Amino acid sequence: MNAFDLKEPETLEEALDLLDTDDPSVRCVAGGTALMLMMKSKLFEPETLVSLHRLRPNLRGVHVDDGGALHLGPLTTLRELELSPVVQQFSPVIPRALKTLANVRVRNVATVGGHLAHGDPHMDLPPIFMALDARVKIQRAGGVRELPLSEFLTGYYSTALDTGELITEVIVPPVPQGMNGTYLKFTALSADDWPMVGVAAFVKVDGDTIADARVVVSAATEKATRLTGVETRLAGVRVRDEVLDDAAELAVANLKPLADIRGSSAYKREIVKVCVRKSLKKAAGLQREASGTEG
């Protein structure tokens, strides 16, 4: 790992000023779990790192506002999220998924902001947050903007963040009443490996009809991707096994998974199909247990 200068600003304004530079090797560091791997493998050799750890008092924490939306500070650790009673009550799918993410040592230091900003398609939370229509608040010296997570994640390890910008909040709108969700991940190399396929499914059934369905696939794709065609196909339809089987077929109709050490593109298509079918059945209440590693 190369030698670098470590800056430790005390305020958000100071941090934004330090990051407001044309030098691409100046980067912020939160938990450091992703960045250090890149630095150790020499994929990234910074001149300067701007540590966010002194901003923790103002940029960490979890609360639900009067309208029922969940607000997450970017420096909240994944372990804090996992153990938060507020998050558990908001959507138990989030803490369940976190229990299967990496290991407790990683979760103790990894942060929500770093998790999203890294843009790694194998991350476990983006599919869940995307299915719940999460938005990301982004701040730069002299300005704030907000993007839906679906627009924030732009591709393989890429996001809409510009130089000099920091995630300052993640906002998740309230989960519609009566909507059930699940996150199912398939790991190929070992049980605690990164997912080869991740699927988040949320379904609201009114009587025997699907009122709302949201499905997001990740890990096999270059970024977490909402399957809007499947969602449209399911809306207003009577909930039956055959309909969900058809939805799983439709999910992979135009999907071209990326091949890698975890599996070929064809193999991943089959696994996506299985995961979509199982997670939809679980979320729709047609199957009590979804096998695989369930979040």
Ligand X SMILES: Cc1cc2nc3c(=O)[nH]c(=O)nc-3n(C[C@H](O)[C@H](O)[C@H](O)COP(=O)(O)OP(=O)(O)OC[C@H]3O[C@@H](n4cnc5c(N)ncnc54)[C@H](O)[C@@H]3O)c2cc1C
Per-residue x/- track, 194-213, ligand X (CB under 6 A): x-------------------
Residue 171, token pair as written in the block = 């906002």
Q: Which is nearer to ligand X, 103 or 177 (CB)?
A: 103
Is residue 166 close enough to count as binding ligand X by CB under 6 A?
Answer: yes
In this structure, what token pair is assigned to residue 173?
Answer: 């709108």
| Cβ distance to ligand X smaller for residue 224 or 248 | 224
| 56 exposure class (CB count in 10 Å sphere: 0-12, 13-18, 19+) | middle
* Cα distances (Å, whole numbers) of residue 142 to 12, 14, 21, 164, 165: 12, 12, 14, 11, 10
Determine the interface stretch with ligand X among 1-9, 10-18, 22-30, 227-235 (rule: CB under 6 A). Answer: 22-30
Buried b (16+ CB within 10 A) or exposed e, 68-79: eebbbbbbbbbb
CB 265 to ligand X: min, Å: 21
Q: Is 60 in the site for ligand X (CB under 6 A)?
A: no
The reply on whether position 35 binds ligand X by CB under 6 A is: yes
Token pair in block for residue 199: 């699927």
The letter for the amino acid at 259 is A
With contacts defined by CB under 6 A, name the span among 32-40, 80-88, 247-255, 265-273 that binds ligand X.
Answer: 32-40
Binding mask 238-267 for ligand X (x = CB under 6 A): ------------------------------
Q: Does 31 bind ligand X (CB under 6 A)?
A: yes
Least separation, in Å, of the C-beta of 277 and ligand X? 23
Whole-angstrom Cα distance, residue 154 to residue 200? 19
**Which of 28/62 has CB closer to ligand X?**
28
Shortest separation between residue 88's beta carbon and ligand X, angstroms: 19
Among 93, 101, 179, 255, binds ligand X (CB under 6 A): 101
- CA-to-CA dists, residue 50 to 137, 160, 198, angstroms: 19, 20, 32
Total of residues contacting ligand X (CB under 6 A) = 27
Shortest distance, CB of residue 209 to ligand X, whole angstroms?
34
Structure tokens at 4: 């670098």
For 201, the token pair is: 């499914």
- Least distance to ligand X from the beta carbon of 176, Å? 25
User: Cα torsion for 227, 230, 233, 239, to the nearest 10°?
Assistant: -130
CB 28 within 8 A of CB 53: no
Residues that bind ligand X (CB under 6 A): 27-35, 37, 74, 101-102, 106, 110-111, 113-115, 117-118, 123-124, 161, 166-167, 194
